[in-house]
Amino acid sequence: MKRRELLQSAALGTAAAALATPAIAQDVLRWNMVTAWPRNLPGPGVAAQMLADRITTLSGGRLEVKLHAAGELVPGRGVFDAVSEGTAQLYHAVPAYWGSKSKGILLFGSQPFGLRADEQVGWLAHGGGQALYDEMYGRFNLKPFLCGNSGPQWAGWFRTEIASVDDLKGLKFRTTGLASEMCARLGMAVQAMGGRDMFQALQSGALDAGEFIGPWTDSALGFYQVAKNYYWPGVGEPSSAEECAVNAEAYAALPDDLKAVLGVACSSLYNDVWTEYTTKHALALKQLVADQGVQVRKLPDSVIAAMGTAAGEVMAELREDDDELVVRITESFLAYRDTVGAYMSYADNGQMNARASVFGW
């Protein structure tokens, strides 16, 4: 046999042996994910489990993530601190819950009259938002990723009809994030609480109205049983991004390929989560109207205009915040919103308006 053939034969034999020999087992990292949601709550609870499973799968089992729903390891609103302090390695929640840490955080999740789901991830990926997101969360020993979006949220469930801005004054209302500040400027008595608590508060009369997410999640929580008026549009949250934040020290200790796994798991889930919300919201709304007697109502134009004015006042304050990072985040957000918004008036807005025309098919 010629020397070249001998070398080729040896190489093939070595490759075959390598394929036949089991790989040496690598150490498995077992991480705890804490969430702001009840286990498997339609929408965010489902998305959290999807993320835990996807990280585990994409890592080939080297990074095994166990999900702990709200209250199982820490309270739902305690997940930010738990991961910051290292009690757990990562969490699934929404930025809208962390305004007490910094108002700048709120812009990464939802903004009154702000970004749609595709624009929100566009700002982070292509408008400089991710660097600001990293800088802000770095203050709290966290590495953040967006990992989903609910799409447009609704104005909420109201026990009585809304005819004017005067009807909002003194209204006991559940919402979160910057929408809370917008609503408070209109005289609403804003309260923050979880979805199950919101149902009980509506039932008892402790709340007059409230918004949570949208038809799919809201129907699972039973809001239609205690408030039949379901108002749109949800200008307080044109979209609501879901996030995964990782303890910064735990993240830094990962090998590069597992860091990439975390990033890919989160980014790949964003569209899956958003489109599931969109599809199931549409199906749930039909069922709420047909079977539960829900009355879908549009907020009066005067109310929308007043909300827009109030939202503008909130943004003006953020532009003058004492924290220069909050100012930079706000300016970056506004610049992206204005640039993309101007284009959307021709693109998506034009297409949606054209599609809404009556063609008979």
Euclidean distance between CA atoms 275 and 150, whole angstroms: 8
Beta-bridged to residue 35, according to DSSP, are 92
Determine contact, residues 130/267, Cβ cutoff 8 Å: no
Q: List CB contacts of 79: < 8 A, sequence separation 6 or more.
A: 34, 35, 36, 70, 88, 91, 92, 93
Do 182 and 243 lie in a common domain? no
253 and 128 co-located in one domain: yes
Beta-carbon neighbour count of residue 306 at 10 Å? Answer: 18
According to DSSP, residue 157 is labeled E
**Structural domains counted in the chain:** 2
pLDDT digits (tens, 9 = 90+) for 242-284: 999 999 999 999 999 999 999 999 999 999 999 999 999 999 9
HSE value, Cβ hemisphere, 13 Å, CA-based, for 20:
6
pLDDT tens digits along 54-93: 999 999 999 999 999 999 999 999 999 999 999 999 999 9
Tokens coding 295? 């009355």
Find the radius of gyration of the CA atoms of the chain.
24
> 27: pLDDT confidence band, cut at 50, 70 and 90?
confident
- Tell me what pLDDT residue 9 has: 43
For residues 102 and 211, membership in a common domain is answered with no
Instruction: Using the predicted structure, report yes or no on whether residue 141 has a pLDDT greater than 60.
Output: yes
Spatial distance between the Cα atoms of 172 and 183, rounded to a whole number of angstroms: 10
For residue 360, what pLDDT band results from cuts at 50, 70 and 90? confident
Tokens read off for 49: 């489990």
Residue 14: the pLDDT is 37
* Amino acid 359: pLDDT: 74
- Residues 232, 244 within the same domain: no
Measure the CA–CA gap between 46 and 137, rounded to whole angstroms. Answer: 25
pLDDT-based confidence at 26, cuts 50/70/90? low
Mean pLDDT taken over the chain = 93
Identify the CATH number of the domain in which residue 119 sits.
3.40.190.170
- Residue 320, domain extent: 156-237+294-345
User: Is residue 71 domain-shared with residue 170, that is, in the same domain?
Assistant: no
Residues 220 and 298 in one domain: yes
DSSP string, 307-323: HHHHHHHHHHHHHT-SS
Per-residue pLDDT of 177-219, as tens digits, reads 999 999 999 999 999 999 999 999 999 999 999 999 999 999 9
Are residues 183 and 55 both part of a single domain?
A: no
Mean pLDDT throughout 297-325?
98
Q: For position 232, what pLDDT does the model report?
A: 98
Tell me, yes or no, whether 325 and 209 share the same domain: yes
One domain, residues 143 and 62: yes
Residues 67 and 89 in one domain: yes
Task: List, for residues 44-53, the tens digit of each pLDDT value.
Answer: 999 999 999 9
Q: Is 238 helix (H, G, I), strand (E, B) or coil?
A: coil
For the chain, what percent of residues have pLDDT higher than 90? Answer: 90
- Residue 251 CB contacts under 8 Å (≥ 6 apart), including other chains: 143, 259, 262
3-state SS, residue 3: helix
Phi, psi of 191, rounded to the nearest 5 degrees: -130, 145
Residues 204 and 127 in one domain: no
> Does position 124 have pLDDT exceeding 70, yes or no?
yes
Q: Read off the DSSP letter of residue 229.
A: E
Task: Please name the amino acid found at residue 284.
Answer: A
Encoding tokens for residue 283? 């199906």
Integer angstrom CA distances of residue 283 from 49, 219, 277, 289? 22, 11, 10, 10
